[in-house]
């Protein structure tokens, strides 16, 4: 019996989720060009809306600073890009791997756990999102839209937005039965995209709507990014950040549990 006893390296729960990140790197290595759209999309938005629409709209006041429309809208687009970037891998791609490719069935027969899968996929989504956000921030820098040294927090801010939406996206996906259900995700994302003070200042919305918007998830990210980039900081930003952290943490917990229930009945 002793002959079969082998000393196995200790694979701690801290390192296990990274194995899934490694797996995704292997999977995407062959289809790296799929990555490029994530860089292109927000830049096209910045050019068309920031530059194009900006010419028509003129300058805006943000917390006492007078800024060009492009400078105003760019952090909103950054927040949207961070949201979209993290939802791609945690909703649609995750669904395919879970329901159709049975990728995780094999993974879970190894030492990895459902929680490792959830943490791993979120980590991957954040890394991918961070790359897009960093590229977008460099473009903003080139345009002169980073008005303050607080802009250094814009990248961590984008990762935080990604975390919030990745957690919720992953958790929501575990409840989906078919691709039809993804229409609900789109239905939820379009109003967020349009009405999170992304394209106009909050004050321009009707008072009743303003109160609602203040509690929507993307708004938290837009406020954070805009404040960092323009250099207009308040203590209330901590509440916005806490909101996103809570989304991510609760989403992660629900997703871990649900993955276990679904894949290890």
Partner 1 sequence: MSGPMVAARALTKRFGAFVAVDGVDFEIEPGEAFGFLGPNGAGKTSTMRMIGCVSPRTAGELHVLGLDPAHDGPDIRARLGVVPQEDNLDTELTVWDNLMIYGRYFDLPRAEIRERAAELLEFVNLSDRRDSRVDPLSGGMKRRLTIARSLLNRPELLLLDEPTTGLDPQARHLLWDRLYQLKRSGVTLVLTTHYMDEAEQLCDRLVIMDNARIVAEGSPRRLIADNVTREVVEVRLPIEADLDFEAARLKRFGDRIEPLADRVLLYTDDGDATAAAIMSEGFEAGSVLVRRASLEDVFLILTGRSLED
Contact footprint for partner 1 (CB under 8 A): 1, 3-6, 8-11, 13, 15-16, 19, 22-23, 26-27, 97, 101-103, 105-113, 263-265
Q: How far is the CB of 243 from partner 1 (least distance, A)?
A: 33
Task: Give whichever of 123 and 216 is closer to partner 1, judged by the CB atom.
Answer: 123
Which two tokens mark 93? 């791609």
Q: How far is the CB of 54 from partner 1 (least distance, A)?
A: 41
Kindly report the three-state secondary structure assignment for every residue of 162-182: HHHHHHHHHHHHCCCCCHHHH
Assess contact for 198 and 222: CB atoms under 8 A: yes
Determine which helix (DSSP H) or strand (DSSP E) holds 61, and give its type and residue range.
Answer: strand 60-62
Task: Give whichever of 51 and 263 is closer to partner 1, judged by the CB atom.
Answer: 263
Q: How far is the CB of 173 from partner 1 (least distance, A)?
A: 18
Task: Give whichever of 179 and 184 is closer to partner 1, judged by the CB atom.
Answer: 179
* Dist. CA 115–CA 22, nearest whole Å: 16
Task: Give whichever of 92 and 205 is closer to partner 1, judged by the CB atom.
Answer: 92
Q: How far is the CB of 5 from partner 1 (least distance, A)?
A: 7
CA dihedral 80, 251, 134, 31 (to 10 degrees): -90
Q: How far is the CB of 114 from partner 1 (least distance, A)?
A: 10
Q: How far is the CB of 15 from partner 1 (least distance, A)?
A: 7
**Listed residue (51, 50, 68) closest to 59, CA to CA:** 68
Task: Give whichever of 4 and 186 is closer to partner 1, judged by the CB atom.
Answer: 4
* Dist. CA 145–CA 78, nearest whole Å: 12
Which two tokens mark 46? 């910045």
Query: Cα(first)–Cα(last) distance of the chain, in Å?
Result: 33
Task: Give whichever of 18 and 143 is closer to partner 1, judged by the CB atom.
Answer: 18
**Distance, C-alpha 27 to centroid of its chain:** 21
Assess contact for 246 and 220: CB atoms under 8 A: no
Which two tokens mark 119? 């943490």
């Amino acid at each position: 019996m002793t002959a079969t006893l082998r000393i196995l390296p200790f694979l701690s729960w801290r390192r296990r989720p990274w194995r899934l990140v490694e797996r995704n790197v292997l999977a995407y290595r062959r289809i790296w060009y799929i990555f490029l759209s994530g860089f292109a999309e927000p830049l096209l938005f910045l050019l068309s809306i920031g530059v194009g629409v900006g010419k028509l709209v003129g300058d805006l006041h943000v917390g006492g600073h007078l800024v060009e429309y492009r400078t105003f809208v760019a952090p909103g687009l950054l927040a949207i890009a961070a949201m979209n970037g993290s939802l791609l891998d945690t909703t649609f791609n995750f669904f395919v791997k879970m329901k159709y490719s049975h990728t995780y069935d094999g993974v879970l027969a190894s030492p990895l756990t459902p929680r490792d899968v959830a943490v791993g996929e979120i980590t991957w989504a954040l890394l991918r999102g961070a790359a897009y956000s960093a590229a977008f921030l460099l473009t903003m820098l080139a345009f002169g839209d980073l008005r303050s040294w607080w802009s250094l927090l814009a990248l961590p801010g984008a990762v935080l937005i990604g975390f919030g939406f990745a957690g919720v996206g992953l958790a929501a996906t575990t409840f989906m039965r078919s691709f039809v259900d993804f229409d609900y995700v789109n239905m939820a994302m379009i109003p967020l995209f349009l009405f999170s003070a992304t394209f106009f200042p909050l004050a321009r919305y009707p008072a009743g709507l303003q109160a609602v918007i203040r509690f929507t998830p993307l708004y938290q990210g837009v406020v954070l990014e805009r404040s960092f980039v323009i250099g207009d900081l308040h203590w209330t930003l901590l509440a916005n950040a806490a909101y996103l952290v809570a989304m991510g943490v609760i989403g992660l917990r629900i997703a871990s549990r649900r993955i276990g229930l679904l894949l290890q009945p």
